Amino acid sequence: MLSKNIEAALNKQIRIEAESSQVYLSMACWAEIQGLEGVAQFMYTQSDEERMHMLKLVKYVNERGGHAIVTDLKAPKTSFGAMKEMFEELYNHELFVSDSINKLVHVTFEEKDYATHNFLQWYVAEQIEEEAQAKTILDKINLIGDDKGGLYLFDRDIQQIVVKSSIGITQ
């Protein structure tokens, strides 16, 4: 059985994961209208992944005697000055999500809810991977600079970008 405090914290994370899905979806739409088909496909895939992260939390809350709550979502940004700006925002968003997961894990320690703490370890490992992937992509964009040929190749190749985290967790 979840405590009311942990249930509320998990519901907050459900909203964050749903908003993350929307952020990626909005980025996919922007990339697609810019002619960046590879980036768009990558973002659509990431949006689906974030939705699955949300659903995993929803199921956990409901299975542990809580009530997962679906709330309204903050609308994501819909336009970006450049691809680099979009990926910088993405990286910062992943840092925000990591911080949120870490705070949630801390609450489980405070309340001695070791089952939820154990469940959240998957999210901790996933965020290491998400941050590494976003940083790798940003590094590649910085290498490309203003080279249109490099941008074309990056757009073509981004679908193959898979960063293995330092702990080797894969999905």
For residue 159, how many other CB atoms are within 10 A of its CB? 13
Q: Which domains does the chain have, with CATH numbers?
A: 4-160 (1.20.1260.10)
Question: pTM to 2 decimals?
Answer: 0.90
Report the binding-site residues for Fe cation. Answer: 17, 50, 53, 94, 127
Contacts of 60 (CB under 8 A, 6+ apart): 10, 116, 119
Angle between helix 4-33 and 37-63 (nearest 10): 170
CA-nearest of 65, 83, 67, 100 to 155 is: 83
Query: How far is it, in rounded angstroms, from Cα 79 to Cα 27?
Result: 8
Residues flagged as binding site: 17, 50, 53, 94, 127
Q: What is the pLDDT of residues 115-166, one digit of tens each?
A: 999 999 999 999 999 999 999 999 999 999 888 888 889 998 887 775 443 4
pLDDT tens per residue, range 30-60: 999 999 999 999 999 999 999 999 999 999 9
- Beta carbons within 8 Å of 118's beta carbon, 6+ residues apart: none
